[in-house]
Amino acid sequence: MTRDELVARLLHRDGLMLVVDKPAGIPVHRGPKGGENLEDYFDALRFGLPRNPALAHRLDRDTSGCLVLGRHRKALQRLMQLFKQGRVEKAYWSMVEGAPSEEAGEIDMPLGRLDAARGWWMKIDPLGLPSQTRWRVLGRGLSPDGAPLAFLELEPLTGRTHQLRVHCAAMGWPILGDRVYGSGKGDGAPPLHLHARRIVAPIDKHKPPTAVEAPVPEHMKATLHACGWSGASENVDEVPLAVDRHSGEEAMVMIMHGRS
């Protein structure tokens, strides 16, 4: 990753926030062992402001897609409050191993830490924090070896660590390529097929919510096509996307060309 490459992945920019298309395989911030991370390059995203933008939320190292940054302290506080209140709508695209028996549903399973030695690894825990995920099937297909796959849209109604990955695994259809909760272990395993496809953020009280979509990453395209995805939505400039649950206002989605 270079600063120019990060700027090229910018999906949205206004006076309050930025949305970057995070690539899979790189953490958003420096870990205890150091190493490359996106924050190292945030100085390229100042665009004339005196300070670097800052993370309003987190995405896992191997998750791709919409990553929201606050451009200054007041905007960051506003965004973090919206995330905490559950007012930022998030939709993830994923490919899971298996075949959900229904076409849509909601998972309501509390989550807790697996154990202190496993860091951020999580488990279903009746005494853990309430955790809800809404899901729906967008397509079905088969892997090259004939195993069933399903293309899901996941909407986390709460924001727990590894929530989508643990919930899908607990339902019997782990996310393809999940090295922790699924079968994505060993050489030759596919990358994690989890993509933060869309966010809708009512950051400006005087304007409709801002909605942004991230193009599908290359490592997910083949399996999405196997489940019926045509890729047609990648070429849309601006379309109605959602109604904010709190304000009732229609949001508009902006999609960058040349990134799919």
Domains in the chain, ordered, with CATH? 3-254 (3.30.2350.10)
User: How open is the CA angle 198-202-206, to the nearest 5 degrees?
Assistant: 140
CB 101: neighbour CB atoms within 10 A? 9
Query: Which one-letter amino acid corresponds to residue 158?
Result: T
pLDDT at 233: 59
pLDDT at 116: 66
**What share of the chain in percent tops pLDDT 90?**
77
Strands 17-22 and 64-70: antiparallel
Catalytic-residue membership of 125:
no
Catalytic residue among 14, 21, 43, 60: 60
* 122-126, 142-146, 228-232: least confident range: 228-232
pLDDT at 258 over 70: no
CB environment 113-128: b (16+ within 10 A), e (fewer): ebeeeeeeebbeeeee
Note the pLDDT tens digit of each residue in 85-110: 999 999 999 999 998 999 999 999 99
